[in-house]
Structure 1
Amino acid sequence: MTSPLRAQPARPGWQLCPYEADRHAAQHREVIAAIFSCELEEADRWVGVAGAEKIRVLEQDGEYAATAVLMPMAQFHGGRSVRTRGVAGVGVRPEYRRDGVGSLLMAEILREVEAQGEALSILYASTTKFYRGLGYEIAGTHYAARLETSYLPPVRTELEIRALTEDDRPAMQEIVRANGRVMPGHMDRCDYLWPRLLRPRGKPAQAFGVFDDAGKLRGFLAFTLASSEALDDFQAMELRVFEAADAEGLRGLMALLRSHHSMVREISTTLPPQSPFWSWLPEQRARMKMREQFLIRLVRVGDALAQRGYPVGVSGELLLEVEDPVLPDNHGLWHLRVRDGRGSAVRVADPDQASEDRVRLDAGALAALYSGHQSAENLAILDRAQGSPEALARASGLFVGRAPTCPEMF
């Protein structure tokens, strides 16, 4: 079995610390400007958007070397919301881009996330190979699609359409969670993600809901509009949010979109192929592509296995022998028990006395299995897992689900 993971021990003289504007602002804005190819003033604004309290700085003997942002999140796996820490804005000053400083930064980040009790970590990788060495693995897909509005059929709705307000946020979150339970990989949207969706690049999106006679929210969407020379100065719509609670809500949202067709010529969106939006259309006319793939990492194996959901009606037990030199508390043999859609996992005290009918895999391979992105059999073909055909099939059966997707980028 081949594992890409390598141990990342702490180093004397290096320390991960909170961002402090009076000490770190000048170097930080230069690093952020380089990461996002933006002006220094935009880098300063990004600190405010991200939240200074979420920024971490890796120092060597008090000197700024590298940075990352830690975002409290939650992600749906197996129909349940799992505590997750997002990582973004990872950057290393040019003079420190040697001797594994980036790996040290991420190892320290993971140790902090582990100490805070988070089950998972998620990120979008600029370099997949680098993050694989730290136990992250591809776990699902982020799509991008375009659709000409002429392909939206006429539709009528009896639902009331009105602009959303902050008072509607609880009802919006309720719909997001209901949909997330059947869409693996979707985010249980948090205080960090909502502003990015509803105020992209600091400008408010137009957000509307469809309501029944009792005033209950049945669906909502948010979008931005911009004139486009490529569309002869007609408008292009960026559909940032689209959430329907039921069939009538879906119909109401499609009617709302259709009402823009006289001025809007094209819709762009990150809705995945499984979204009801696409199946509602009478013809397959969208141009869709795989834009990115997100990576996850099990930070606390026992908690991650317990917080995840499992197929209803499926029961079973599985021994997982996990290799994790980066987070040693994960390393070893785990006993997973699944009953009625819930799981529990305990470390095996004496692995030598346990059955040899187990699946051996590294922490990254476990992440791909955990999300449902890869089967245990595929991981064995990749030389990332080992086990008898029966053990591999049992593992795949416990983690099986719809293909994981994530509409959000961060």
Structure 2
Amino acid sequence: MNEYEIRPAVLDDAEALTVLGVESFGYPRPDGPPRPPDADGRRTYVATWRGTPVAAVVDRRYDSWFWGSRFRTAGIAGVKVALEHRGQGLLTPLFERMLSDAVADGCAISTLYATAPGIYRRFGYETVGSYDELVLPTAELAAVRTTGGSVRRGGACDVPVLRELYARWAVTHNGPLTRDGASFARTDEEVAGEYPGMTIATDDDGRPSGYALWSRSGGYGQDGTLEVHDLVAVTDQGMRSLLRALGTSATVAPTTVISTSAPDLLQLALPSHVWKVRQANPYGLAVLDVAAALTGRAYPTWLDLDLAFGVSGLPVGSDGAYRVRVADGRAAVEPAKNAEIVYTATGLALRYAGVSSCAELRQAGLLSGADHDDERWDAAFSGRRVHIRDYF
């Protein structure tokens, strides 16, 4: 490793990073000048060999919703290593440097889309959800039973309505990005211009209750496809109105592809189980700062806890024993001398996301020790489903 230098990327690295990206991901070489490594909320870290970047990882700064609270999130993307330098262990120092800087900047958690989840478990990441492309016959949408309300076409002036609807939906789930900040610096006109179709559902009183952003491809024959890039509804009536409206394309677009996290409530409105997953994108979570992750969220006001626990294998220096006290909807965390239970880093990620019970974590070897407080832990981390609606 002495031959390699780990450092933040600089502007002079842009061309080499572009070449590395083309080689790693098979993207066509972009037109125009290469993108600066710190553009659009990015922080790029590189491993250089003889001064040339041969490995890189990008930290995209987001905020995520977990348990009704916003958390600063290091969103990891663009992980790549030049073919001739693979197998040299370059990802370990890259992640250590990047995640240490992220914690220093206030990130309590980190997330990523892992093409090979096993690679990232050593850094504390575990799969907690998936951003999928669901494929189904458009005729199934046409058969959805509506319960009132109506739909209308939207435009740039309606983008604030979309943002408000998304925020109302996102805050009730674990995992959605907040869609603001440097990584989402888009004007209303830019958002509207990105999607050819914008359909807004309104309830019987004319209040917006959901939206769909969509496009068409494949002509108007058997290859005709309706691509639903984002579908959000805050009422059952709004969801049904949107699905039924999209279903009117069945004669010219026999297939619909909906991007979402399954299971999705929209599936409850469909008359039969006809969908399949065209592509799944597993979403991984790692806890970086244990105290910040636990104290930054809200808890049920009736919950009263005083628990000691340990964590092992965290990616950046938070291993050890902790004591968490929960009362009146908030938590306090302090170091402890010992703990009766110990989470692995990946076990803590699953625990924090609320996707696995203590019994499941024990069965998987991700939680050890006394089990008399398992029901309390389950009560503190239950009730919200993981959903993610943005790929990065």
TM-score in same-fold range (> 0.5)? yes
Give unmatched runs, 5+ long, in structure 1.
1-9
Residues of 2 paired with 1:141 and 1:341: CA distance?
29
Q: CA 1:387–1:396 in 2, change beyond 3 Å: closer, same or farther?
A: farther
3-state SS of paired residue (1:190): coil
Deviations 1:128-175 (A, max 9, x none): 22211111122223333111111122658553512231x433332222
Residues of 2 paired with 1:48 and 1:157: CA distance?
50
Give, as a single letter, the amino acid of the residue that structure 2 aligns with 1:102.
L
3-state SS of paired residue (2:388): coil
Which of residues 198, 212, 236 is equivalent to 1:207?
198
1:173 alignment counterpart = 163
Kindly state the Cα deviation for residue 46 of structure 1 after the two structures are TM-superposed. Answer: 8.3
Q: CA 1:407–1:278 in 2, change beyond 3 Å: closer, same or farther?
A: same
Percent of pairs with identical residues: 21
Is 1:189 matched up with 2:179?
yes
Residues of 2 paired with 1:123 and 1:156: CA distance?
38
3-state SS of paired residue (1:390): coil
Residues of 1 paired with 2:37 and 2:101: CA distance?
22
Kindly state the Cα deviation for residue 266 of structure 1 after the two structures are TM-superposed. Answer: 1.2
Is 1:400 matched up with 2:390?
no
Which of residues 343, 355, 361 is equivalent to 2:343?
361
Kindly state the Cα deviation for residue 86 of structure 1 after the two structures are TM-superposed. Answer: 0.6
3-state SS of paired residue (1:270): strand
User: RMSD of the TM alignment (CA)?
Assistant: 3.2
Is 1:386 matched up with 2:365?
no
Residues of 1 paired with 2:185 and 2:226: CA distance?
19
Is the CA contact 2:9–2:37 (under 8 Å) kept in the aligned structure 1?
Answer: no
Which of residues 163, 181, 186 is equivalent to 2:154?
163
Q: CA 1:104–1:336 in 2, change beyond 3 Å: closer, same or farther?
A: same
Which of residues 77, 91, 98 is equivalent to 1:88?
77
Kindly state the Cα deviation for residue 199 of structure 1 after the two structures are TM-superposed. Answer: 7.9
Give the alignment's TM-score, normalised by structure 1. 0.82
Q: CA 1:190–1:360 in 2, change beyond 3 Å: closer, same or farther?
A: same
Is the CA contact 1:156–1:255 (under 8 Å) kept in the aligned structure 2?
Answer: no
Is the CA contact 1:164–1:209 (under 8 Å) kept in the aligned structure 2?
Answer: no
Residues of 2 paired with 1:222 and 1:241: CA distance?
5
Is the CA contact 1:369–1:399 (under 8 Å) kept in the aligned structure 2?
Answer: yes
3-state SS of paired residue (1:103): helix
3-state SS of paired residue (2:350): helix
Deviations 1:357-379 (A, max 9, x none): x3212222211111012222222
Is 1:133 matched up with 2:153?
no
Q: CA 1:111–1:11 in 2, change beyond 3 Å: closer, same or farther?
A: farther
2:332 alignment counterpart = 344
Kindly state the Cα deviation for residue 300 of structure 1 after the two structures are TM-superposed. Answer: 1.2
Give, as a single letter, the amino acid of the residue that structure 1 aligns with 2:381.
F
1:25 alignment counterpart = 14
Which of residues 245, 261, 281 is equivalent to 1:256?
245
Aligned length, in residue pairs: 385
Residues of 2 paired with 1:222 and 1:151: CA distance?
19
Which of residues 5, 9, 30 is equivalent to 1:14?
5
1:374 alignment counterpart = 356
Residues of 2 paired with 1:150 and 1:213: CA distance?
25
Residues of 2 paired with 1:181 and 1:52: CA distance?
24
Q: CA 1:278–1:106 in 2, change beyond 3 Å: closer, same or farther?
A: same
Is the CA contact 1:141–1:290 (under 8 Å) kept in the aligned structure 2?
Answer: no
Q: CA 1:175–1:194 in 2, change beyond 3 Å: closer, same or farther?
A: farther
Deviations 1:301-325 (A, max 9, x none): 1111122344564332221211246
Give the alignment's TM-score, normalised by structure 2. 0.86
